[in-house]
Amino acid sequence: MTAPDPTPEARSPSRTGLRSAPGRWTLAAVLLAGLNLRGAIAAVAPVLPELREELGLTPTTAGLLTTLPVLCFAGLAPASAWLGRRVGPRAAVLGGLLAVAAGSVLRVLDGPVVLLAGTFVVGAAMTIGNVLLPAVVKAEFAERAGPVTGMYTAALAAGAALTTALTAPIALLAGWRVALAAWASVAVLAAVVWSAVLGARPAPASPPAPTRAGAPAGVWRSRTAWAVTVVLAMQSALYYAFTAWLPSLLADEAGLALSTASFAASAFQLLGIPGALLVPVLLTRLAGQRGLAVTVAVGWGLVPLGLLVAPAAWLAWVVLGGVVQGAGISLAFALVALRAADEHVVTRLSAMSQLVGYAVGAAGPLVVGGLYAATGGWAAALWLLVAVAVVNGAAGLVAGRAVSVGGPSAHRLPSGGSPVSPGG
């Protein structure tokens, strides 16, 4: 596959726009990359019973198949940022896509040890995309970084939904090993398109990262950067807590049968797609992100509050929760791209927010489960999740301000997210 060879004046999609041929090719590459950033993880759940039976997995080992990648998202975020600085974010993302394909095949070749090793490779590879894809988007779509980030986040959710829906039917025809390995083909396709469109393209000119005044230390010392980080942390804690406990919670609080509660949990995940797609549309129409951040936080808060006071209306809370979880992660990633001064700072801010954010997110299910075990009910845990949503909204008010992070000074941003001088 080859992409059109644009003229130097038209090489940058941020100049030519999404409707130009280079812009469409680059957008396609970004969306295909996003499609691979969760799918291989989500594919495990539909065939987990077969996996456990054939390989004799303990519940703890089975749980690691989904927990291990999330731990990679947190623990390997700084290493992914370092890799991006060493080889460039475009080359690193390409390598990550190939590693997703390799890990997807590796994990089905033998028993539990190889399964976990392949899962680690997949999680590490996805971490590279998590951290560095926003930097590529910032460089390629400067004026449209927020909306494009929302689009690839929607692709991320669509990839998870696609593998959740199709892995079990493939397993029925060819077995679970083939069903899991098959998704390597999607990563290979994304790598081919990425290589054709972005692999040989030099990065848009910008000052080298080491010479940019204030960039390295400025991210960790920035109030806005910490607000962006808290938004992702609270979003992750809410999402993973509900992902882990929603079926049990609905069975206990609303009296649902396990089959109905499992269906509700699937709907919660699928509704993340329209939620994520809604954010890019709103980002192109709103003057800032503060109101959107508060709206998402209010929606999140209503879900546990509704389950507390009106559990019989569980369907409404599941629908609302599905939409806001998709919108929330889309907005959290978009804020990283919008607040950073350039692609070098995006890499650092992305690594910082994911290191902290996913560590908090991984702890969310444990804390909720601990509260349930200690109190014998869900009330304390649900009130805690309401409080988490409040913190999310407060952080969103700060993160949504039009101020850039990591440059020589804080710059005001226009609604599209491109830095301008303080006077203009």
Q: What is the pLDDT of residues 22-47, one digit of tens each?
A: 678 888 999 999 999 988 888 887 78
pLDDT band at 262 (very low <50, low <70, confident <90, very high): confident
Assigned CATH topology for domain 8-205: Growth Hormone; Chain: A; (1.20.1250)
Residues 85-96, mean pLDDT to the nearest whole number:
92
pLDDT band at 179 (very low <50, low <70, confident <90, very high): very high
Q: Output the pLDDT for position 46.
A: 79
Residue 309 scores a pLDDT above 50 = yes
pLDDT band at 348 (very low <50, low <70, confident <90, very high): confident
Q: Output the pLDDT for position 415.
A: 40
CB count within 10 Å of CB 221 equals: 12
pLDDT band at 13 (very low <50, low <70, confident <90, very high): very low
Q: Output the pLDDT for position 18.
A: 54
Least confident of 51-65, 147-161, 409-423: 409-423
Amino acid letter, 155: A
Residue 191 scores a pLDDT above 90 = yes
Residues 323-347, mean pLDDT to the nearest whole number:
87
Q: Quick check: do 8-205 and 215-399 share a fold?
A: yes
* pLDDT winner (highest mean) among 72-86, 188-202, 259-273, 307-321: 307-321
- Contacts within 8 Å (CB) and 24+ apart, 85-92: 85/209, 85/344, 85/347, 88/203, 89/132, 89/133, 89/135, 89/136, 89/139, 89/203, 89/343, 89/347, 90/136, 90/194, 90/198, 90/199, 90/201, 90/203, 91/199, 92/128, 92/132
Least confident of 174-183, 231-240, 304-313, 341-350: 341-350
SS3 sequence of the chain: CCCCCCCHHHCCHHHHCCCCHHHHHHHHHHHHHHHCCCHHHHCCHHHHHHHHHHHCCCHHHHHHHHHHHHHHHHHCHHHHHHHHHHHCHHHHHHHHHHHHHHHHHHCCCCCHHHHHHHHHHHHHHHHHHHHHHHHHHHHHCHHHHHHHHHHHHHHHHHHHHHHHHHHHHHHHHHCHHHHHHCCHHHHHHHHHHHHHHHHCCCCCCCCCHHHCCCHHHHHHHCHHHHHHHHHHHHHHHHHHHHHHHHHHHHHHHCCCCHHHHHHHHHHHHHCHHHHHHHHHHHHCCCCCCHHHHHHHHHHHHHHHHHHHHCHHHHHHHHHHHHHHHHHHHHHHHHHHHHHECCHHHHHHHHHHHHHHHHHHHHHHHHHHHHHHHHHCCCHHHHHHHHHHHHHHHHHHHHHCCCECECCCCCCECCCCCCCCCCCC
Q: Give the tens place of pLDDT for each residue, 125-165.
A: 999 998 899 888 888 887 777 778 878 888 888 888 788 77
pLDDT band at 1 (very low <50, low <70, confident <90, very high): very low
Q: Output the pLDDT for position 58.
A: 80
Residues 325-334, mean pLDDT to the nearest whole number:
91
CATH architecture assignment, domain 215-399 = Up-down Bundle (1.20)
pTM of the model: 0.76
Q: Higher pLDDT residue, 386 or 5?
A: 386
Q: Output the pLDDT for position 423.
A: 30
Ordered by start, the domain boundaries in the chain are: 8-205, 215-399
**Distance of alpha carbon 56 from alpha carbon 417, whole angstroms:** 51
Instruction: Share the mean pLDDT of the chain.
Output: 83
